[in-house]
Amino acid sequence: MSKSEKRNLTATLPPVRCLPEEREEVRQKAADAGLSVGTFMLRCALSRKIKPRNDHKLIAELSKLGGLQKYLFTQGNGIGSKEYAEVLQELKKAILRVGQQGD
């Protein structure tokens, strides 16, 4: 956005009535996207792309769970190895999905 476009942002929109639960959901979604509520709602109304930011804490926690799962897998001496492998694969997929959402 150019400087002249920023200066022209003087119009306002009326407040929106909603239920308290809806207000909190909108606030949470805006926070997840790293946007103010007004910017989030404007982008939604104009069908503009909302790109969520990477949740580094979530990725770190999923990685930690993957490490613990791998430890259990190696300590299990082959007992339930198929199930451990499936869980590890799902954790890897989840980490990749979260990482791609933020890109």
Instruction: Return the ∠ at Cα 98 (arms to 35 and 90), rounded to 5°.
Output: 155
In the chain (103 residues long), the average pLDDT of successive 10-residue segments reads 67 89 92 87 90 73 82 75 80 77 57
Question: Closest Cα to residue 16, out of 2, 7, 8, 26?
Answer: 26
CA angle 78, 79, 82 (to 5 degrees): 80
Q: How far apart are the first and last CA of the chain?
A: 21
Count of Cβ atoms closer than 10 Å to residue 40 Cβ: 19
Residue 37: the pLDDT is 92
What does the pLDDT read at residue 102? 56
